[in-house]
Amino acid sequence: MTRNLRQALFSALLVWAVAYPILGLKLTIVGINLEVHGTSPTTLMIIAACSVLMFLRVLFDQQISAAWKASPNMPVIPAKASNFLTLPTTQRWIIIALIIGALVWPFFGSRGAVDIATLVLIYVMLGLGLNIVVGLAGLLDLGYVGFYAVGAYSYALLSHYYGLSFWICLPIAGLMAASFGFLLGFPVLRLRGDYLAIVTLGFGEIIRLFLRNLTGLTGGPNGISNIEKPTFFGLTFERKAAEGLQTFHEYFGIEYNSINKVIFLYLVALLLALFALFVINRLLRMPLGRAWEALREDEIACRALGLNPTVIKLSAFTLGACFAGFAGSFFAARQGLVTPESFTFIESATILAIVVLGGMGSQLGVVLAATVMILLPELMREFSEYRMLMFGAMMVLMMIWRPQGLLPMQRPVLQLKAEPRK
Amino acid sequence: MSREILKVTGLSMRFGGLLAVNGVALTVKEKQVVSMIGPNGAGKTTVFNCLTGFYQPTAGSILLDGEPIQGLPGHKIALKGVVRTFQNVRLFKDMTAVENLLIAQHRHLNTNFLAGLFKTPGFRKSEREAMEYAEYWLEKVNLKEFANRPAGTLAYGQQRRLEIARCMMTRPRILMLDEPAAGLNPRETEDLKALIGVLREEHNATVLLIEHDMKLVMSISDHIVVINQGTPLADGTPEQIRDNPEVIKAYLGEA
């Protein structure tokens, strides 16, 4: 009992030690000096309450866990329903319903919501691409944002200097990013794990600094602005068309409304994300996809079976980077502005968090995690000061309750020829 | 009797100042089971690593069907039909048993990127054939009911069998087993012996074996090579080896 009491006291003190400096003190600028003030009594009361709760929780740890175990374990979903939900045919219907829903809702949604959804879709694309490299091939890549930047700048530069349209630049941007992925792949072929992470991290930073310092071409820290938006078969969504172009609302004889542009961008993003989902889904069931996973599991066994690890690694890097290139060029088109500051390390970390949160290798997991990761900060704008705190708390809780991710990857069940069982 | 599949002469492997393998020679003929034995640390696995391209041998020649393969990278040698298992099982643990087999089928599959993307009839056909072949081998090693279980969750003996089946999926010219009976109980060892017999009789497999289980080695080998401290000690039929005083000395020490 004394041991419990000591532990409980220590935990309560720890609550104070962590919470008081962060929440209990406020820095204010008075003139040119920085002054420290205590915060309102309410905050202090909350911290005190938390520490008391923590004290009780640790003190009665055994009783609580015993009570928890004793309570009957109610299944959240009845077995029959969960079985029905995981049937392949049901899942196909659910996916079709989701796609139709995603196609239809923006016409009824608000402008802000559609805009955020577009951002979510960009991260879905990035997450899917990184999932190839990290989730499937098991190569920890911390510089993924570099490929995203290459894609974005490819479109921005081609559009700025040569006036090429989005639809022509999209495949070019993908190819450019893919070739950078290929180039990065070569030097890192021998590296694994931590070493690979460091080198790729450096690569991402090099790309950003390069874009920043190549002022003559890329505009340096100011970036490139006034990038053209995508067109709908040559029809622009602006109020007034540039010379030789026609606007969407004039062609269809409808009133000009700026939301049309937002919806159109959303639909383009949806199209690209679905394309990525489809391609990667097929790849998973191809020998190449299986080889990626085999490489993650055991490189030596791969070699002993005649799989060339060099080709497998390079293909993972190249294809992963290609999807980042698509996402990047779309990002440039949507923003209308690219600067090196859009491609900092924190972006790489966010994308990696999406892959890990969703469950390594799981595609629906990536979609769900991207939604959570982008939507939560947007929904909780008022609490933006505590964003990092919540982010950390989420990660810790994840590691405790679902270390394998929100929707961990399901192994495909391959049907053998059905034989009558005796 | 039949043609030589593998002919190794004067194989040496030096790690800095240590001569791990010194002038090993061995010949494996078609449909033979050849065993390599020797005390722990004798360099048997090093020989395997040289033969399968995991190490680059310092000297010597390795002829596969008359074609030199020494110095080639591991995956190229595997593609030529020299496939091995490992002393400590190396399966793709998170993948299912049948997926493990399908990966080995890789070199016979239609790997065209676009064909797979659009699921062309040719691609579907080759996938179906791969599945059928995988099923065939799962049945051979008695693992059909575990087809969709992750390989890491299988019992140790089952993992050993799956690893052999995975090698056979590549239709190898020579199958190299590195201590396949290590960690198996006597019954599983019997099963393994039967399996190697089946592979030889029904699938014309040629086997090169490293093993410490003398009962197993003596009963299935056509030919035995003994290695001690990296150098070849003896070479002959099981009967010759059993009575060789040099071999007994190496194993039991000076009398």
Q: Which of B103, B132, B144 to mutate to probe the A interface, most A CBs <10 Å?
A: B103
Task: In whole angstroms, give the CA distance from residue A8 to residue A4.
Answer: 6
Characterize the bridge pairing of strands B82-84 and B67-68.
unpaired
Distance from CA of A300 to the nearest CA of B (A): 8
Of B54, B78, B131, the CB nearest to A305: B78
Instruction: Return the CATH number at B233.
Output: 3.40.50.300
Of B78, B109, B117, the CB nearest to A287: B109
More confident residue, B84 or A399: B84
By the 8 A CB rule, do A174 and A322 touch? Answer: yes
A-contacting residues in B 125-164 (Cβ below 8 Å): 131-132, 135, 138, 144, 147-148, 150
- Please compute, for residue A130, the number of CA atoms within 13 A of its CA located in the half-sphere on the CB side: 35
The CA-CA-CA angle for residues A362, A363, A368, to 5°, reads 100
The structure tokens listed for A57 are 């929780």
Q: Are residues B66 and B97 in the same domain?
A: no
User: Between chains, do A282 and B74 touch, taking CB under 8 Å as contact?
Assistant: no
- Prediction pTM value: 0.83
By the 8 A CB rule, do B30 and B217 touch? Answer: no
Any residues with CB less than 8 A from the CB of B98 and at least 6 apart, and which? A414, A416, B131, B134, B135, B138, B147, B148
Distance from CA of B83 to the nearest CA of A (A): 6
B79 touches chain A (CB under 8 A): yes
Residue A31 has a pLDDT of 78
Write the secondary structure of A5-71 as one string of H (helix), E (strand) and C (coil): HHHHHHHHHHHHHHHHHHHHEEEEEECCEEEEEECCHHHHHHHHHHHHHHHHHHHCHHHHHHHHHHC
CA nearest A139: which of A315, A310, A316?
A316
Residue A76 has a pLDDT of 54
More confident residue, B41 or A414: B41
Q: Are residues B237 and B116 in the same domain?
A: no
Q: Are residues B57 and B32 in the same domain?
A: yes
Give the end of a domain, one of B170, B198, B231: B170
The CA-CA-CA angle for residues B34, B39, B44, to 5°, reads 50
Ramachandran area for residue A271 (φ above 0: left; ψ -120 to 50: alpha; else beta) = alpha
By the 8 A CB rule, do B109 and A336 touch? Answer: no
Residues of A in Cβ contact (< 8 Å) with B78: 303-306
Of B53, B76, B95, the CB nearest to A293: B95
Residue A202 has a pLDDT of 92
How large is the ipTM?
Answer: 0.87
Q: Are residues B193 and B162 in the same domain?
A: no
Distance from CA of A413 to the nearest CA of B (A): 6
Amino acid (one-letter) located at A338 = V
Q: Are residues B193 and B217 in the same domain?
A: yes
Cα–Cα distances in angstroms (integers) from residue A330 to residues A209, B14, B54, in the given order? 22, 56, 45
By the 8 A CB rule, do A174 and A325 touch? Answer: yes
Query: Hunting for tokens 């705190």 — which residue is that?
Result: A389
The structure tokens listed for A20 are 């008081």
Residues of B in Cβ contact (< 8 Å) with A300: 54, 86, 90
Q: Which of A285, A414, A419, A422 to mutate to probe the B interface, most B CBs <10 Å?
A: A414
Of B106, B148, B150, the CB nearest to A307: B106
Residues composing chain B: 255
Q: What's the pLDDT tens digit per position in B190-241?
A: 999 999 999 988 888 899 999 988 889 999 999 999 998 888 888 889 888 8
Amino acid (one-letter) located at A98 = L
Q: Residue A295 CA to chain centroid, in angstroms?
A: 24
CA nearest B95: which of B170, B19, B18, B150?
B150
Q: Judging by beta carbons within 10 Å of its beta carbon (0-12, 13-18, 19+), is residue B214 exposed, middle or buried?
A: middle
Distance from CA of A61 to the nearest CA of B (A): 34
Q: Are residues B59 and B178 in the same domain?
A: yes
Of A290, A306, A413, the CB nearest to B79: A306
Q: Are residues B104 and B70 in the same domain?
A: no
The structure tokens listed for A29 are 């600028």
User: Between chains, do B116 and A283 touch, taking CB under 8 Å as contact?
Assistant: yes
Q: Are residues B52 and B124 in the same domain?
A: no
CA dihedral A26, A29, A32, A33 (to 10 degrees): -20
Amino acid (one-letter) located at A397 = L
CA nearest B45: which of B67, B5, B13, B77?
B13
Residue A72 has a pLDDT of 60
Q: What's the pLDDT tens digit per position in B100-124?
A: 998 887 665 555 677 777 777 888 8
What averages of pLDDT result for each successive group of 10 residues across chain A (422 residues)? 83 87 78 79 86 86 79 58 63 83 86 90 94 91 94 93 90 95 86 87 92 89 87 78 74 80 91 92 86 90 89 92 95 92 90 88 86 83 75 82 77 64 40
Phi first, then psi: give them for residue A61, nearest 5 degrees: -55, -50
Residue B248 pLDDT class (50, 70, 90 cuts): confident
By the 8 A CB rule, do B190 and B211 touch? Answer: no
More confident residue, A165 or B254: A165
Of A300, A305, A309, the CB nearest to B104: A305
Task: In whole angstroms, give the CA distance from residue B242 to residue B215.
Answer: 11
Q: Are residues B8 and B74 in the same domain?
A: yes
User: Between chains, do A290 and B93 touch, taking CB under 8 Å as contact?
Assistant: no
Q: What's the pLDDT tens digit per position in B158-176?
A: 999 999 999 999 888 899 9
By the 8 A CB rule, do B104 and B167 touch? Answer: yes
3 state SS of A225: strand
User: Between chains, do B138 and A416 touch, taking CB under 8 Å as contact?
Assistant: yes
Phi first, then psi: give them for residue B83, nearest 5 degrees: -125, 140
Q: What's the domain range around B94? A: 89-170
A260-281 burial, b if ≥16 CB within 10 A, otherwise e? Answer: bbbbbbbbbbbebbbebbebbe
Residues of B in Cβ contact (< 8 Å) with A411: 94-96, 99, 148, 150
Give the end of a domain, one of B144, B170, B196: B170
Q: Are residues B75 and B179 in the same domain?
A: yes
Of B79, B116, B150, the CB nearest to A411: B150
By the 8 A CB rule, do A303 and B78 touch? Answer: yes
Q: Quote the DSSP letter at residue A386.
A: G
The dihedral built from the CA positions of residue A185, A198, A176 and A297, taken in this order, carries a sign that is positive
User: Between chains, do A305 and B138 touch, taking CB under 8 Å as contact?
Assistant: no
Q: Are residues B95 and B209 in the same domain?
A: no
By the 8 A CB rule, do B61 and A264 touch? Answer: no
CA nearest B9: which of B252, A188, B22?
B22
- Please compute, for residue A10, the number of CA atoms within 13 A of its CA located in the half-sphere on the CB side: 6
Task: In whole angstroms, give the CA distance from residue A344 to residue A348.
Answer: 7
B214 touches chain A (CB under 8 A): no
Q: How many of the other CB atoms lie within 10 Å of CB of B156?
A: 13
User: Between chains, do B116 and A309 touch, taking CB under 8 Å as contact?
Assistant: no
Residues of A in Cβ contact (< 8 Å) with B99: 290, 293, 411-412, 414
B117 touches chain A (CB under 8 A): yes
Helical H runs in A60-106? 61-70, 79-86, 88-104
Amino acid (one-letter) located at A106 = P
Q: Which residue of A has its CA nearest to B96?
A: A411
Q: Which residue of B has its CA nearest to A310?
A: B75
Any residues with CB less than 8 A from the CB of A387 and at least 6 apart, and which? A377, A380
Task: In whole angstroms, give the CA distance from residue A402 to residue A368.
Answer: 14
B106 touches chain A (CB under 8 A): yes
By the 8 A CB rule, do A256 and A97 touch? Answer: no
Size of interface A-B (CB pairs under 8 A): 114
Distance from CA of A311 to the nearest CA of B (A): 11
Number of domains present in the structure of chain B: 2
Which helix (H) or strand (E) segment is A153 a member of? helix A144-162
Q: At what angle do helices A309-335 and A144-162 cross, to 10 degrees?
A: 50
Task: In whole angstroms, give the CA distance from residue A300 to residue B73.
Answer: 12
CA nearest A304: which of B37, B212, B106, B182?
B106
Bridge-partner residues for A34, per DSSP? Answer: A29
Give the end of a domain, one of B118, B141, B170: B170
**pLDDT at residue B11 greater than cutoff 80:** yes
B50 touches chain A (CB under 8 A): no
By the 8 A CB rule, do B135 and A416 touch? Answer: yes
Bridge-partner residues for B221, per DSSP? Answer: none
Q: How many of the other CB atoms lie within 10 Å of CB of A246?
A: 13
Q: Are residues B138 and B242 in the same domain?
A: no
Residues of A in Cβ contact (< 8 Å) with B73: 303
Of A297, A303, A309, the CB nearest to B95: A297
Using an 8 Å CB-CB cutoff, list residues of chain A that contact chain B: 279, 282-283, 285-288, 290-291, 293-294, 297-298, 300-309, 411-414, 416-417
The structure tokens listed for A351 are 């994308």
User: Between chains, do B92 and A301 touch, taking CB under 8 Å as contact?
Assistant: yes
User: Between chains, do B54 and A416 touch, taking CB under 8 Å as contact?
Assistant: no
Task: In whole angstroms, give the CA distance from residue B35 to residue B46.
Answer: 15
Residues of A in Cβ contact (< 8 Å) with B101: none
The structure tokens listed for A83 are 């079985």
The CA-CA-CA angle for residues A345, A349, A352, to 5°, reads 140
Task: In whole angstroms, give the CA distance from residue B110 to residue B117.
Answer: 12
The structure tokens listed for A296 are 């993650």
